[in-house]
Amino acid sequence: MASSSSSSTTFAAREHDVFLSFCGEDTRYTFISTLHGVFKQRSINVFVDDGLNRGEEISPSLMNAIEESTISVITFSNGYASSRWCLDELVNIMECKETHKQAVIPVFYHIDPTDVRNQTGTFGDGFAKLVESFDEEKLEKLQMTEEQFKDKVEKWKKALTSAANLSGWTSKVEPSDYPLVMKVLEDILNILKFMSPSNSDKKLVGVERIIREIGSLLKIWRGNVISVGIWGMSGIGKTTIAKSVFNKFRGRFTKGRLSHKRVFIVFDDVTTIEQVESLIDDIEQLGSGSRIIITTTNKQVLRNCGVDDINIYEMKGLFGNDALQLFSWYAFRQNRPNIDYDDLSNRVVKYTRGVPLAIKVLGCYFFGKSKQVWESALKKFERILHEDIYKVLKISYDGLNDVE
């Protein structure tokens, strides 16, 4: 079931993971209470409008809470359309779906989606009763003309129809709301995963196999705490791989307190064990099933941090088609060299010795330049290393002791 209605997968960080819209009289102590509890257990940051002390208009703070949420979960129940407050919330949610690329998950709690879509049945009766309650006296109190009210009603109807047309979940009258809650939770975790602010997948050339191999070392299905090390020279791609692995598996862990919680932590570019100990005194204090990834240029640091040799993954360079494809993304903005640039591109790739950073730096350097510039630069680089590559490699060199 495709629960996300958003058309984009790149989003800026927002204050809340989830905004819950619901009719309190129908669901506060049943479905919403269970859903909120499960979200709390999984450390999902959720905003709940408790419906207390409501005025005539939605407050700016509530409007902001809707806008600052990645996902809105709308729980339609029999009484939802009887509440002007709920309908105004819904209009704002559907506007945020269009303007802020917010994901929206509708849940039809003990009602038929068709009744929401067409404002029929008991759901429609509640809507009609609400509209009829806006008599001349009430409109005057709200300082609203009849024309303005008609526009508002049309916005309500449009929002109800649009939301009901989205892919969502429909519940049956069952003894427990838990099965429905778990379906919604799974959708939330998947959406949060795919809405992480990373759009560079197309340039992650040749990493799928590495991610799989490191994933096998993590043994996600096991219940004990496991640490995995990623070892290799500067610029070889340790950080990129660690981020990719983290993004792939992050949805299975919590983001809350470390102690006794199942967490997923990446320590990047570690040079001493003290850097790890400054955050967690003892890895064994973490909750069952936790996973740790440590990247470093010094293999001994991994051993000092308690990583078994069998769980140390040595990063090596990119070669062959993978290296050429990565270079092409930066030099030509496509996955292969331009016509007549094959030989020059292969010379550059050979010069980089498979170091991804060098491939990227030189790809950017040669972008849009003529063959004459390529020829001249290659001759120069054979004698003098590119400045950006030199800076990174120097970090690895400076980290060596005299014997090394």
Is the Cβ–Cβ distance between 188 and 17 less than 8 Å? yes
User: Which 8-state DSSP code applies to residue 166?
Assistant: S
How many C-beta neighbours within 10 Å does residue 371 have?
11
Sign of the C-alpha dihedral, residues 157, 161, 166, 172? positive
CB within 8 Å of 224: residues ≥ 6 apart: 288, 289
Single-letter amino acid, residue 214:
I
Q: Pick from 197, 199, 189: which is nearest to 251 by CA?
A: 189
Q: How far, in Å, CA of 20 to CA of 267, rounded?
A: 34
Residue owning tokens 């973490």: 286
Helices within 100-224 (DSSP H only): 113-118, 121-132, 136-141, 146-164, 178-194, 208-218
d(CA 13, CA 2): 22
Buried b (16+ CB within 10 A) or exposed e, 101-137: bbbbbbbbbbbbbebbbebeebbeebbeebbeebeee
Strand-pair partners of 47? 19
DSSP 309: G
3-state secondary structure of 16: strand
Q: What are the phi and psi torsion angles at 363 (to 5°)?
A: -60, -45
CB 237 within 8 A of CB 285: no
Contact 160, 106 (CB under 8 A): no
- Residue 392 identity (one-letter amino acid): V
- Beta-sheet strands, E only, within 315-359: none
Q: Give the list of residues 6+ apart from residue 56 with CB closer than 8 angstroms, or none.
A: 142
Task: State yes or no: is 15 an active-site residue.
Answer: no
**Contact (CB, 8 A) for 45 and 18:** yes
- The single residue of 15, 57, 68, 89 carrying the catalytic annotation is 89
Residues serving a catalytic function are 89
